[in-house]
């Protein structure tokens, strides 16, 4: 079976999407740590030769080099998921909905992700603009998830988890790093819990394993 190499930064939400998807699929891979901060290694000559856009993550499988997170999720699902449920390309309606959510995930990266970088690393951004966009995107996600709950559904698309959920999960889960707590977002909280409940779920700094959430709830 094809094995891949992930050029990775442990605190990156986008890199985490790929680690999480690989964990859920039970796929082994090689990791090359990249010193994003403070070393800015992603902008070094060797990394720019691999990925001229200077972004992370980067996925390499034989002659294939991918630098867009959404394409990596699609590749992982179509390569390693025999059921076809993670990326339902055979159903035109579900496929279109997944693609729409992948677009939304890019918005979360640009808003919540940028606000988080500013809060954690003092990354230069238009703070007022990214915080306003973050609030708007989280409010929209809460509304859309609430509609799903009212229709008896848990996941963003269809009846089970897809790459849409994995694409949107990290920056929704990490929003408290940017000062956006989940207290006012009950639908988001329930959805985050559902993702954490998936077999093969893996964590990252700032995203706790499910048993820790249960302990926190019990102690409270």
DSSP assignment string, 129-145: HHHHHHHHHHHHHHHHH
- Whose tokens are 């699609």? That residue is 74
Query: Quick one: pLDDT at residue 220?
Result: 37
Q: DSSP 3-state assignment of 51?
A: coil
Q: Alpha-carbon distance 91 to 93, whole Å?
A: 6
Residue at a domain's end among 80, 105, 123 = 80
Over its length of 220 residues, how does the chain's per-residue pLDDT go in tens digits?
Answer: 568 999 999 999 999 999 999 999 999 999 999 988 787 788 899 889 999 999 999 999 999 999 999 999 999 999 999 999 999 999 999 999 999 999 999 999 999 999 999 999 898 999 999 999 999 999 999 999 999 999 999 999 999 999 999 999 999 999 999 999 999 999 999 999 999 999 999 999 999 777 554 444 434 3
Q: Alpha-carbon distance 137 to 76, whole Å?
A: 26
Let me know whether 112 and 13 are in one domain.
no
In a domain, 106, yes or no: yes
Indicate yes or no: pTM above 0.85. yes
Query: Quick one: pLDDT at residue 211?
Result: 57
Are residues 59 and 36 in contact, defined by beta-carbon separation less than 8 angstroms? no
What is the span of the domain harbouring residue 152? 92-219
Query: Quick one: pLDDT at residue 2?
Result: 67
**Which segments of the chain are extended strands (E)?**
5-8, 30-33, 58-61, 64-66
Instruction: Compute CA distances 218 → 3, 176, 212, whole Å.
Output: 41, 21, 10
Residue at a domain's end among 49, 80, 111 = 80
- Total structural domains in the chain? 2
**Which segments of 14-89 are extended strands (E)?**
30-33, 58-61, 64-66
Let me know whether 73 and 97 are in one domain.
no
């Amino acid at each position: 079976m094809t094995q891949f190499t992930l050029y990775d930064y442990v605190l990156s939400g986008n890199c985490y999407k790929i680690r999480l998807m690989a964990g859920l699929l039970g796929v082994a891979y090689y990791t090359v740590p990249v010193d994003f901060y403070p070393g800015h290694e992603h902008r070094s000559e060797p990394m720019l030769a691999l990925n001229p856009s200077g972004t992370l993550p980067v996925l390499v499988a034989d002659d294939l080099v991918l630098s867009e997170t959404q394409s990596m999720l699609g590749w992982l699902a179509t390569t390693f998921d025999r059921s076809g449920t993670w990326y339902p390309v055979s159903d035109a309606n579900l496929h279109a909905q997944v693609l729409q959510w992948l677009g939304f995930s890019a918005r979360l990266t640009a808003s919540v992700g940028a606000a988080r970088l500013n809060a954690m690393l003092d990354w230069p951004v238009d703070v007022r603009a990214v915080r306003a966009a973050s609030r708007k995107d989280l409010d929209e996600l809460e509304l859309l998830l609430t509609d799903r709950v009212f229709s008896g559904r848990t996941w963003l698309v269809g009846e089970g988890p897809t790459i849409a959920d994995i694409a949107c999960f990290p920056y929704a889960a990490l929003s408290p790093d940017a000062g956006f707590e989940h207290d006012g977002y009950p639908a988001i909280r329930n959805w985050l819990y559902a993702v954490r409940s998936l077999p093969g779920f893996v964590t990252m700094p700032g995203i706790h394993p499910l048993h820790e959430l249960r302990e926190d709830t019990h102690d409270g």
